[in-house]
Amino acid sequence: MKPLPPEPNLNGLKSKNLTLHLVQTEQIPEIEQIFGGFSDSSELLEEFHNSYLPRFEAGRRMRYGFYMQLEGKLAGFCLLDIDDLETRTASVGTDLLEHMRGLQIAPQSKAHLFYLAFELLGLNRVETGCFVSNIASKKSIEKTLGFIYEGKSRFLQIYH
């Protein structure tokens, strides 16, 4: 098997109107502050602490969490979480501020995360999922080019 490329040296990813800022440990207090004051701040920041903080194994970053801005306005968080280096698999996810939902941010962010996964990190597979009851998330995933519906687990719909 071809060796993994070295970790990319990046601070973020940017397209025309969407910017992903890589979360660094020293930025956590600043991120908490800038995401305060929204009606859904407490639940979004709880998810930030549960899912978006950097994670390392054997000195290698395994979680690439980002906070996002759409046209300069805070939008939410997205991540690429490397699940297994041997099989080169990862999963992605997105959590948006309530007032930013429905603006196609999640599908746009996936293009950035796919670039990171396949081009920069040399991964083979990226998965995502949603609860069967989360219709908005299901529709967002279906709009994301590259994902193929694989089926339902006990609680989630799985896409790769």
Q: Which of 39-53, 55-69, 121-135, 136-150 has the lowest mean pLDDT?
A: 136-150
The dotted CATH code for 12-126 is 3.40.630.30
What are phi and psi for residue 93, nearest 5 degrees? -160, 165
pTM for the model stands at: 0.84
In the chain, where the domains are located: 12-126
Half-sphere CA count of 102, side-chain side, radius 13 A: 2
Bridge-based pairing state of the strands 125-131 and 89-96: parallel
Instruction: Single out the residue of 111, 96, 100, 95 nearest to residue 143, CA to CA.
Output: 111
Tokens 């969407």 sit at which residue? 18
Q: Across the chain, which distance is largest between two alpha carbons, in Å?
A: 48
pLDDT score recorded for residue 15: 87
Q: Judge whether 77 and 68 are in contact, CB under 8 Å.
A: yes
Model confidence pLDDT, tens digit, residues 49-59: 999 999 999 88
Identify the three-state secondary structure at position 89.
strand
pLDDT digit string (tens) for 106-132?
Answer: 888 888 998 999 889 999 888 766 555
Please, are residues 148 and 160 in contact by the beta-carbon 8 Å criterion? yes
Mean pLDDT of the chain: 85
Cα separation, 119 vs 116, whole angstroms: 6
